[in-house]
């Protein structure tokens, strides 16, 4: 079985600024590249799980999300970082019901099965309680951080 780091996107990977859907607003946080490289060196696979409710609310299109994710993956690839999968929910309870939106754990559970991940050796890092809850519902240890802080601040909370 593999071990994984599940990452929320906005506030953990990039600067949280409300709805981030324009490429010029997508700014990768300081130290992120270095920390993701460390996670990979320690044998973790990396998976992004993000709520993108602006699509359901009509604030932006799913293609906007895809453009940002393509850019993000390209930046990671330049730095030898491999993201195994990006799962994102385009729903919002005010507009459309679903079971993929965090704090539900559908995407975490899908990844656990698809990639043969041991939840007991894995972490979900997020800047909102719903991120932690999604991980913990699936047996993954949740780590709550402040939005827009370096992931270096939590390394001492993890068994790498």
Catalytic entry in 10, 64, 127, 131 = 10
End-to-end CA gap in the chain = 16
Cα 122 to Cα 141: distance, rounded to the nearest angstrom: 6
User: Which residues, 6 or more positions from 69, have their beta carbon under 8 angstroms from its beta carbon?
Assistant: 48, 86, 88
For residue 141, give the 3-state DSSP assignment: strand
User: Which residues, 6 or more positions from 130, have their beta carbon under 8 angstroms from its beta carbon?
Assistant: 51, 102, 103
Q: What's the gap between Cα 56 and its chain centre?
A: 19
Catalytic entry in 8, 64, 127, 131 = 8
DSSP 51: E
At residue 80, φ and ψ (nearest 5 deg) are 55, 35
For residue 138, give the 3-state DSSP assignment: coil
Active site residue 118: no
Active site residue 8: yes
Q: What are the catalytic residues? A: 8, 10
């Amino acid at each position: 079985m593999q071990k994984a780091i599940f990452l929320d996107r906005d506030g953990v990977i990039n600067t949280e600024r409300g709805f981030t859907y324009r490429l010029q607003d997508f700014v990768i946080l300081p130290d992120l590249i270095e920390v993701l490289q460390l996670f990979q060196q320690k044998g973790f696979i990396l998976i992004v799980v993000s709520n993108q409710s602006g699509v359901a609310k009509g604030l932006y299109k799913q293609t906007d999300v895809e453009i940002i994710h393509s850019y993000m993956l390209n930046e990671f690839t330049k730095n030898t970082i491999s993201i195994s999968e990006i799962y994102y929910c385009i729903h919002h309870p005010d507009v459309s019901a679903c079971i993929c939106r965090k704090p539900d754990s559908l995407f975490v559970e899908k990844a656990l099965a698809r990639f043969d991940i041991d939840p007991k050796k894995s972490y979900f890092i997020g800047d909102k309680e719903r991120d932690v809850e999604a991980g913990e519902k699936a047996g993954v240890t949740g780590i709550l951080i402040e939005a827009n802080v370096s992931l270096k601040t939590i390394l001492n909370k993890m068994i790498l």
